[in-house]
Amino acid sequence: MITIKTPEEIKIIAESGKILADAIREIEKMAKPGITTRELDRTAEAFILSKGAKPAFKGYEGFPYALCVSVNENIVHGFPSGYVLKDGDLLKLDLGVLYKGFNTDMAITVAVGNVSFEARRLMNVTKKSLRLGIKKAKIGNTIGDIGNTVQRFVEDQGFDVIRDLCGHGIGKSVHEDPKIPNFGKRGGGEKLVEGMVICIEPMVSAGDYNLKKSGDGYGYATADNSLSAHFEHTIAITSRGPRILTE
Domain ranges for the chain: 7-244
User: In terms of pTM, does the model score above 0.85?
Assistant: yes
- Residue 137 confidence (pLDDT): 98
Tell me the residue ranges of DSSP E strands in the chain.
54-55, 67-71, 74-76, 90-99, 102-111, 160-161, 167-169, 176-180, 197-200, 203-205, 211-213, 220-222, 228-230, 233-238, 241-244
Contact of 130 with 203, CB cutoff 8 Å:
no
- Residue 217 confidence (pLDDT): 86
Separation CA 170–CA 173 (nearest Å):
6
The 10s digit of each residue's pLDDT in 80-120 is 999 999 999 999 999 999 999 999 999 999 999 999 999 99
pLDDT band at 166 (very low <50, low <70, confident <90, very high): very high
**Angle subtended by helix axes 117-135 and 143-156, to nearest 10:** 160
Half-sphere exposure of 5 (CA within 13 A, CB side): 27
Nearest CA-CA partner of 120 in 93, 90, 157, 76: 90
The pLDDT of residue 32 is above 90: yes
Separation CA 84–CA 32 (nearest Å):
9
Residue 212, Cβ neighbours under 10 Å: how many? 12
Q: Which residue has the higher pLDDT, 61 or 163?
A: 163
- Residue 38 confidence (pLDDT): 98
- Residue 16 confidence (pLDDT): 98
- Residue 215 confidence (pLDDT): 86
Helix, strand, coil proportions of the chain in percent (round to 5)?
30, 30, 40
- Per the omega criterion (within 30 degrees of 0), is the bond before 178 cis? yes
The pLDDT of residue 216 is above 90: no
The 10s digit of each residue's pLDDT in 131-154 is 999 999 999 999 999 999 999 999
Question: What number does CATH give the domain 7-244?
Answer: 3.90.230.10
- Residue 207 confidence (pLDDT): 97
- Residue 6 confidence (pLDDT): 98
Q: What is the arithmetic mean of pLDDT over 164-193? A: 97
- Residue 197 confidence (pLDDT): 98
How far CA 218 is from CA of 64, 75, 80, 155, in Å, comes to 11, 11, 11, 28
The 10s digit of each residue's pLDDT in 51-78 is 999 999 999 989 999 999 999 999 999 9
- Residue 236 confidence (pLDDT): 98
Q: What percent of the chain has pLDDT over 90?
A: 98
